[in-house]
């Protein structure tokens, strides 16, 4: 059976952008609850977005070192099941939130496999690690060849510098479960460009 890579658009901030993503056929939306990014949403804004979405659309809440209590509170108040931990969270935090949780790991210039294997769960996300920059959404990419083995072992979400121009190459090389894009489909930080999403 042919492998179809799923598409996640992360950092959605408005119902309009969310619906444009849905119309384009996006499988998963990411809502970022980390205040250190221009793509941040709070619970009321997240609820406003969720209210417009078709039933069954997968939504992931993104957190960066915000603690289990906060993550659980957002989960309870929004109904979002899936959680992406994009900071320095330990494997125990991921385990506490399973089965609907996964770790995002930054990749610099070596295979992340040993680090990947430390974390529980079916899913994992690999993103470019940019020293001194935000943990994600930087628009930087890493050497995708470093991700191929991870894609064989886990449901890999691949992020980092993906754009409409290079995503097909990435899918051919890595065959990830899902690709994840934020800045690569924006007209400005936190503002999605429907044409680029398409």
Residues with catalytic roles: 10, 127
Sign of CA dihedral 167, 191, 156, 24: negative
CB-neighbour burial class of residue 6 (10 A; exposed 0-12, middle 13-18, buried 19+)? middle
Calpha distance 88→71 (Å, rounded): 14
Calpha distance 24→194 (Å, rounded): 8
Alpha carbons within 13 angstroms on the beta-carbon side of residue 173 total 13
User: Tokens 């609850």 appear where?
Assistant: 33
Q: What SS3 state is found at 110?
A: coil
CB 126 within 8 A of CB 144: no
Calpha distance 129→135 (Å, rounded): 7
């Amino acid at each position: 059976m042919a492998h179809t890579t799923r598409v996640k658009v992360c950092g959605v901030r408005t119902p309009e952008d969310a619906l444009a993503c849905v119309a384009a056929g996006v499988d998963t939306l990411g809502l970022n609850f980390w205040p250190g990014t221009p793509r941040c949403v709070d619970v009321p804004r997240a609820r406003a977005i969720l209210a417009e979405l078709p039933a069954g659309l997968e939504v992931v809440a993104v957190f960066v070192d915000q603690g289990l209590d906060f993550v659980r509170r957002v989960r309870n108040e929004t109904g979002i099941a899936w959680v992406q931990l994009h900071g320095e969270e330990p494997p125990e935090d991921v385990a506490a939130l399973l089965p609907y949780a996964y770790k995002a790991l930054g990749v610099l210039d070596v295979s992340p496999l040993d680090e990947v294997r430390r974390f529980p769960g079916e899913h994992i996300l690999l993103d470019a690690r940019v020293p001194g920059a935000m943990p994600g959404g930087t628009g930087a990419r890493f050497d995708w060849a470093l991700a191929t083995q991870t894609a064989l072992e886990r449901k890999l979400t691949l992020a980092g510098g993906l754009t409409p121009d290079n995503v097909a190459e990435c899918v051919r090389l890595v065959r990830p479960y899902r690709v994840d894009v934020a800045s690569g489909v924006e007209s400005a930080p936190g503002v999605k460009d429907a044409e680029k999403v398409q």
